[in-house]
Amino acid sequence: MKKIEGNIIDAFNRKIYSGIIEIEKNKIVSIKEDGVKRKNFILPGFIDSHIHIESTMLSPSGFSKLVVPRGTIAVVCDPHEIANVLGEKGINYMIDDSTNTPLKCFFGVSSCVPASSFDSSGCVINSEKVESLIKKDDFYFLAEMMNYPGVVNEDAEVIKKIEAAKKYNKPIDGHAPGLKGKYLKKYISAGISTDHECSSLKEALEKISLGMNILIREGSAAKNFDSLYSLISTHPNDVMLCTDDSHPDDLIKNGHIDNLVRRGLSLGLNVFDLIRVASINPVNFYKLPVGLLRVGDPADFIIVDDLKKLNVLKSYINGECVYSNRCIHFSTPKAKKINNFKLENININDLKVPNEFGSLKVIKAFDGDLITNSFLSEINSTEKYLDADVNRDILKIVAVNRYKKDSKPFVAFINGFGIQSGAFGSSIAHDSHNLIAVGTNDESIYNVLQRLIENEGGLAVCCDHSVFDLKLDIAGLMSSEEGSVVSNKYALLTGKVHDMGSKLNSPFMTLSFMSLLVIPHLKIETKGLFDVDKFQFTHLFESRDSQK
């Protein structure tokens, strides 16, 4: 029998007392208060209530080595990214790899593969496949229903997926940025019960008033904690914490859910409320087999130095100490490689944009924001082809279908990235994960795309005529390398983009959102420019619209 001593934080009875926890056969068999003065604190482990592990550019086993030392003992995962590349085969890959780590990974069935009927994804998971998966014990929920227009407009295929989740009593995660009023009510009434896209307190409160659970997100690009943290005090039963999309350098430097709990404590939030949203609510909502420091629970908990610094000293999962003394006490085999990449080459001449004069529609990107705007730019050039206008930060943005051998790129224009030279690109392009690149000239864009093709996915930067890269050998989304290696390479590439003039905090993450067709307002797809508000493709030139 194992005995663990410390100041026990009982979030259910809202008290802290010194005592001893006894563990037998991976479960807590007794918790005894003894009044002995001790320094360390024992509390439930943290849970990320919504994450795409693929966005960390690491496999589940690689990811676990970064977050278990941060006190994360479980994650609620949507394998949406790899599902759009490899379908059910990709989902099974994530589940299989997660068995190599003690971190508890709970997967949902990705509901939007592709995210919309306009996306050029690598696979399709239809309603029939959703039902065949959601009934299995391996899956705990229907993952984020980001096709909110499909829900509101009662698309038959979308409704069938929702009904399948209801049939097997599985919760349905939402994704409804900016949705309000009658359309929000209709969306929620369909059975969707969470949302992680709130960027304002007003939006979150409306959704809570209609019965939604709000997941406060703090990722590498989208950061909503500062706007929403007051909900932890005012609505502790209706809130959870998540990171959604985070890169490994952020996890190494800033932490994971522990960072949000620490920030909450520094803001004066109640420790019991913080534990409720970081641990208790996800377990109750998703019905997870994760312990919460109660007799009879699995022995899942962490030990920290104090309730200010919140440095994690030890992490326990199923009664085993998986981290202590700054060392991980588990090993994982190197992740296997898997991919779906058919594109072989592109022609640099296909990057040219014939000048049709009039007004040009330009995507406007914002730092750390999934939502874009747009504006019209008058074309002053009399040249046959349009080039980037670096002085006005109107750059070329290119999308290419990776799933076809011979694909021609689609080229549009974007403002907000701020680079003065060169180009950068990636095969991480939500949600279909085709190739996407931004650049100041065709040669640099071509060099970036060719390197991505050569590597069959990854990140690349063309700077001063040299190309730097990070190969993502798992589906063009993740690396089989250690997290520290990926983090260092990613930091190097981000630094190169900053050297070229970009002021964006996470330029690669922001770039990945520019093809996200279910987030307003103007986006790029391999087949054209997409107007999310009208939910249809639109012309690059305003004059073409007027000719309809």
Q: In this predicted model, what pLDDT tens digit does every residue of 396-406 receive, in sequence order?
A: 999 999 999 99
pLDDT(547) > 50:
no
Would you call 516 helix, strand, or coil by DSSP?
A: coil
Mean pLDDT within 12-23: 97
By DSSP bridging, strand 301-304 and strand 312-317 are: antiparallel
The overall average pLDDT reported for the chain is 95
Which string of b and e fits 252-288 if b means at least 16 CB within 10 Å? bebbbbbbbbbbbbeeebebbbbbbbbbbbbbebbeb
CA separation for the pair 347, 209 (Å, rounded): 53
Number of H helices and E strands in the chain, helices first, is: 18, 29
pLDDT of residue 488: 95
| Residue-level pLDDT at 545 | 58
Reported as a single tens digit per residue, the pLDDT across 198-209 is 999 999 999 999
Query: How far apart are alpha carbons 111 and 160 in whole angstroms?
Result: 10
Residue 548, pLDDT score: 47
Residue 104 has what pLDDT?
Answer: 98
* 3-class DSSP state of 10: strand
User: Rounded to 10 degrees, what is the CA torsion of 258, 76, 341, 364?
Assistant: -60
Please tell me the predicted confidence (pLDDT) of residue 358. 85
Report whether 292 contacts 42 (CB < 8 A). Answer: no
pLDDT > 90: percent of the chain: 89
Residue 218, pLDDT > 80, answer yes
Q: What does the pLDDT average to over 408-422?
A: 98
Whether the per-residue pLDDT at 423 is higher than 90: the answer is: yes
Lowest mean per-residue pLDDT among 134-143, 207-216, 270-279, 374-383: 374-383
Mean pLDDT of 163-173: 98
Above 90 in pLDDT, residue 189?
yes
pLDDT at position 544 is: 55
pTM exceeds 0.85 for this model = yes
Q: List pLDDT tens digits, range 106-124.
A: 999 999 999 888 999 999 9
**Rounded CA separation 478/56 (Å):** 7
Question: Residue 377 class from Cβ within 10 Å (0-12 exposed, 13-18 middle, 19+ buried)?
Answer: middle
Q: 48 or 356, which is more confident?
A: 48
Q: How confident is the model at residue 277 (pLDDT cuts 50, 70, 90)?
A: very high
What would the mean pLDDT of 467-481 be, rounded to a whole number? Answer: 97
User: For position 339, what pLDDT does the model report?
Assistant: 97
Return the pLDDT at 177: 87
| Cβ-contact 40, 313 below 8 angstroms | yes
Question: What is the rounded average pLDDT of the residues 286-312?
Answer: 97
Question: pLDDT tens for residues 364-396?
Answer: 999 877 889 999 999 888 899 999 999 999 999
Q: Quick check: bond before 114 cis, omega within 30?
A: yes
Q: What is the pLDDT of residue 392?
A: 96
Most confident of 240-254, 268-282, 511-525: 268-282
